[in-house]
Structure 1
Amino acid sequence: MSRIAPLPAAEAVEKTARTYERVCELLGTESVPEPFLAYGRVPAFLQDFFMNFKKFVVGSGALDEQKRTLIALCVCASAGCDVWANFFTERAKSQGFSDEQIAEALAVASTNYMYNTFFKFRDIAGTDVFEGMSVGLRAHTFHGTGFDDATVELINIAISDMNACKPCVSGHVKKARDLGVKDEAILETIQCAAVMLAGVQYLKAAGV
């Protein structure tokens, strides 16, 4: 049972009701997706999330809509939020991604988790003794999917930032820039991830 019950559309009034309508218009749905009903208990949070979601998650800019979907999917799945991960899985399929491509994106994110764990340890261990030791971790997944290197690096940047791995973030940002990825696209990757992590965190805190 949720600690904070979602606010049904039928009970929403004023700003919340209008935001619910805008959500449905944006997503082309007849009903309000479950997460937004949870956010509806706090109108200011609902409005903030909706506006950020519209601008940085489902919109497009330096980072196209398809890449934003992959970033959001990987972030939400990595954060253990099934409701949003399932939402973006279906969205990815509607944009033409196959089950195999979705699995590959999640595999890239999971492999990055492995490296984040290792390099974050070396960074905070308080000694340089581990710097000269071999990493020893196999990660052929980064080059074994159907995605181009730039897409892989954007996923890696989002997950590395999420895991607060400083050397990983800086390394992947450098590689992305070397590949010709625009700084604006890198920033939008983080903005997309940040928006979804806010949404995920609220759902977890609310027990949804």
Structure 2
Amino acid sequence: MSVADLRSKLPEYAKDLKLNLDSVLSEAGAPGLNLAQISMVALGAAFSARYKPLTEAIAAFAAEHATPEQLTAAKGSAAIMGMNNIYYRFQHLVSHPEYATIPAKLRMNVIGAYKGDAKNDFELVSLAVSAVNGCGMCIDSHDKVLRDGGISVQAIQSAVRIASVIHGIAVVLEQADAAG
């Protein structure tokens, strides 16, 4: 399935998602991001949305615009955020202060595996996935790392816009499949 096929499967009530999909997957519609970054963020968001046909379509799109290394980084980010967002959301929401003093003891080596521009790209995906997964602590952390790394607020907002559209499409199409 391609992105065009995906778009055609969206029902009329989700017309805004169709329009937004075309926009956010372009440099004009995602200010501050290049096509490789757009692809990486979309792929990470698709992984976190957990709807296989969407993930496959976005993976095909991403393969046209990002290197295999960038695609691996996007998947690695989605994987580690799948774990971290649960752990740190718990730590943020639980009212007992002792949890904040206990080491996580979770391996997170992939976070330190990237440097320079690759680090910023990884962090953009991590922020987008954290937004989908609703982890405020992780959103704050990745936002700070990105801004400290020279990424503009506009680019960060673009990454979250991509994630929101991808997630919305996953919700609609999964429900459409369930309804038959």
Structure 2, unaligned runs of 5 or more? none
Q: Is the 8 A contact 1:70 1:92 kept in 2?
A: yes
Deviations 1:25-69 (A, max 9, x none): xxxxxx983322321x32x522x1222112212334211122111
Cα distance, 1:158 vs structure 2: 0.5
Q: Separation in 2 of the partners of 1:86 and 1:145?
A: 25
Larger radius of gyration: 1
> What secondary structure is seen at the aligned counterpart in 2 of 1:63?
coil
> What secondary structure is seen at the aligned counterpart in 1 of 2:99?
coil
CA RMSD of aligned residues (A): 2.0
Moved more, 189-198 or 143-152: 143-152
Q: Separation in 2 of the partners of 1:58 and 1:199?
A: 17
CA, structure 1 residues 96+71, in 2 after alignment: closer, same or farther (shift >3 Å)?
closer
> What secondary structure is seen at the aligned counterpart in 1 of 2:169?
helix
Return the match for 1:140 from 76, 99, 109: 109
Using structure 2 for the length normalisation, give the TM-score: 0.87
User: Where in structure 2 are the equivalents of 1:188-203 lying within 5 Å?
Assistant: 188-203=158-173
Equivalent residue for 1:206? 176
CA, structure 1 residues 32+175, in 2 after alignment: closer, same or farther (shift >3 Å)?
closer
Q: Separation in 2 of the partners of 1:97 and 1:71?
A: 13
Q: Which runs of 4+ in 1 moved over 6 A?
A: none
Q: Separation in 2 of the partners of 1:78 and 1:160?
A: 9
> What secondary structure is seen at the aligned counterpart in 1 of 2:53?
helix
% identity of equivalent residues: 21
Amino acid at match of 1:105: A
User: Where in structure 2 are the equivalents of 1:125-136 lying within 5 Å?
Assistant: 125-136=94-105
Q: Is the 8 A contact 2:39 2:61 kept in 1?
A: yes
Aligned residue pairs: how many? 174
Equivalent residue for 1:9? none
1:175 lines up with 2:142 in the alignment: no
Using structure 1 for the length normalisation, give the TM-score: 0.76
> What secondary structure is seen at the aligned counterpart in 2 of 1:54?
helix
> Bigger relative contact order, structure 1 or 2, given CA contacts below 8 A and separation 6+?
2
Return the match for 2:62 from 72, 87, 92: 92
Cα distance, 1:88 vs structure 2: 1.9
CA, structure 1 residues 59+53, in 2 after alignment: closer, same or farther (shift >3 Å)?
farther
Cα distance, 1:144 vs structure 2: 2.1
Structure 1, unaligned runs of 5 or more? 1-30
Equivalent residue for 2:91? 122
Equivalent residue for 2:20? 52
CA, structure 1 residues 87+165, in 2 after alignment: closer, same or farther (shift >3 Å)?
same
Q: Separation in 1 of the partners of 2:86 and 2:27?
A: 32
